[in-house]
Amino acid sequence: MNPISYDTIAPNIDQVNVTDAQVEVRWKCPSTGRIIGTSTATMAADASMAGRVGASVKRSIASEVIYGVARLISGMLGGAIGRVVDNAVNTAAADLNASATSGVDYTEASRRAAIVVAFESVRSCFAWDDTRQQFVGSTSAPA
């Protein structure tokens, strides 16, 4: 068996949940469909030049759109009410901007790499089946 790759373990993936940099994977036996367990791993940010530029562009676009709408809303009102609304809108815009750009540092490649790392912690619950050319639930795997 060669080193584990994403393509090798893809049939074992039942569900993937991504929260910020955390990837949680629920694993199954591809031959029986039985759920084997769950594991987690942390994604590493894409350090390539293209990844960093792409993340920067996404952040800039989100920021311009969100803060542009905020300026439009607060500009419609004047005086004390306008300042109060301006503060509230800018606070909401900052929260929206943070939420909209929270995952831009991670790519599909970093997600797949984290899934491979997560598999290592449940690998003992699987056995390599040469005939099927895939990992199947081992007899020692939890039911």
**Has residue 142 been placed in a domain?**
no
- Looking at residue 29, what DSSP letter applies? -
Per-residue pLDDT of the chain (143 residues; tens, 9 = 90+): 568 999 999 999 999 999 888 999 999 999 999 999 999 999 987 666 566 666 566 667 766 776 676 667 666 766 677 677 667 666 766 665 555 545 556 788 889 999 999 999 999 999 999 999 999 998 755 55
* Separation of alpha carbons 55 and 104, rounded Å: 5
Query: What is the Cα–Cα distance from 59 to 84, expressed in whole angstroms?
Result: 26
- Structural domain includes residue 33: yes
**20 in any annotated domain:** yes
Does one domain contain both 10 and 34?
A: yes
Instruction: With respect to residue 1, please indicate whether it lies within any of the assigned structural domains.
Output: no
Give me the number of domains the chain comprises.
2
Q: 71 is in which domain, residue-wise?
A: 50-100
- 143 in a domain, yes or no? no
